[in-house]
Structure 1
């Protein structure tokens, strides 16, 4: 049994506008619906828990998709708070050693083969696994005046993507430990790393984009429409 956790309580401040980015439309559907479709259409995922902002007026009220359960819960102010809330809203039958996939609500172009390879890797690595992409661009560090201070070596650097896959017990322990110390963790792998563990990196498709800007939305629209027409 594998469940998906989808933190969707954010307001999308970086994107701008009144509509949270997970509810922006691309290829005829909100981004969150594309994300949930990709997860729940996969045969190795049994259900999803979505963490929402309190009183979210845009949530369509789904209780199932693709014949699988969708559970809604109230998230928190930060990503880690929402993932913790989703963990606690899982059905009682989901054991501590069951695999959970945490996926961004505004990352709509997830492919099934990436899910397969992620689950396979996380089943082997006790520390979990994440989809990621090697950094291919030259990296520049800026100074206070936004001039180039130095060129940073990119060898060994990867961009973290989602889903990120961990056993339920490990993920709960990692996020609770981060909260107890007041650590600001920006993804689930960072919380697990703080325990001294080393999740596996699984190279994922570069078009598994997270929408954070209007340009991202336009590109995702193109990618999704291309898939629909192929």
Structure 2
């Protein structure tokens, strides 16, 4: 079983990379995020590998970080999520954004990934609640939000406020952090509109 490849980049295509390891080239299917982070042809690279074995095929999936690999494996525990969909999600959302989406039960965020419909997105945020990989990247703002709410899942008004701030152009990490600070001070029953106003004030200070 191959766990990691260290070699030279031979080529990079739309959804895979060819890695030359001492003259033997391995084809690894990767997320768009991993392919973007790949060095130029001929340069050294290390990929964490998940080996996919079936009767009629053998595929290698490559990841630029151990965290991305763990998210890939975790996503595929959800019914309806295969390797292709898992890679699409990891191409669309960073590990941090995925953690935020699950903590906030934001199925719309997960649904941005190609091939992820509303039902699958709902299953992902529901089934993966509290299951972020060990060592996975979670925004400090989301940690604060989880602590403030106690259970790690935002109530409707808080999720709506974070969503509204995100729609106004703020990064989800920024919006989550701002709302987390407000909830820590004011409690989790603040009305959505007030949370948004206070969040905007927090973000502009």
Q: Flag the structure with higher strand content.
A: 1
- Fold-level match, TM-score > 0.5? no
Q: Flag the structure with higher helix content.
A: 2
State which structure, 1 or 2, has the greater radius of gyration over its C-alpha atoms: 2
TM-score, length basis structure 1? 0.28
